[in-house]
Amino acid sequence: MSQLYNQEDLDSLWEIIKYSRTDSEAPHYGLKEVPFFKELLDFFNDNHQRHKPFIRKNLVSRVITDLKNLFDILDKANVRLHHLTCAGEGRGAKENSGLCIHCLNHTTGNVEIYTVPGVNYRL
């Protein structure tokens, strides 16, 4: 996958999520794009399967690459948690990782999980 994100958008996303909970004890200093070679459909299916135990009637789980759209979504939501997705390669990965953002949508009341492929923390 070629470059999807510009650093300015990743910095803006970091500003939105940086004060919410995370499952990592390592200090994070922002977000960065990493090479992503998985097929998006396969990544989505794996991501969805891993979220399945948590899926209830009002849970939304999506893979999203359009950060401008994500900013609009998060503008109407309360970010609760961010972490690296288990559908990716994990924490120290230099490739194929993805960032999960859990939030509560103020408009719908739905719990929503958005996964951004090809993004990892700057440590």
In a domain, 63, yes or no: yes
- Classify the phi-psi angles of 20: left when phi > 0, otherwise alpha if psi is within -120 to 50, otherwise beta: beta
Indicate the number of domains in the chain. Answer: 1
From residue 23, give the alpha-carbon distance in Å to each of 83, 99, 102, 109, 112. Answer: 6, 12, 12, 24, 17
Per the structure, the complete domain to which residue 68 belongs is given by: 7-121
Q: Kindly report, residue by residue over 74-93, the tens digit of the pLDDT.
A: 999 999 999 887 655 555 66
In a domain, 2, yes or no: no
First-to-last alpha carbon distance for the chain, in angstroms, is 23
Give the separation between CA 117 and CA 37, rounded to whole angstroms. 10
Q: Kindly report, residue by residue over 108-117, the tens digit of the pLDDT.
A: 888 888 999 9
pTM given for the model = 0.86
| Cα Rg of the chain (Å, integer) | 13
In a domain, 1, yes or no: no
Give the pLDDT confidence score for residue 44 in this predicted structure.
81
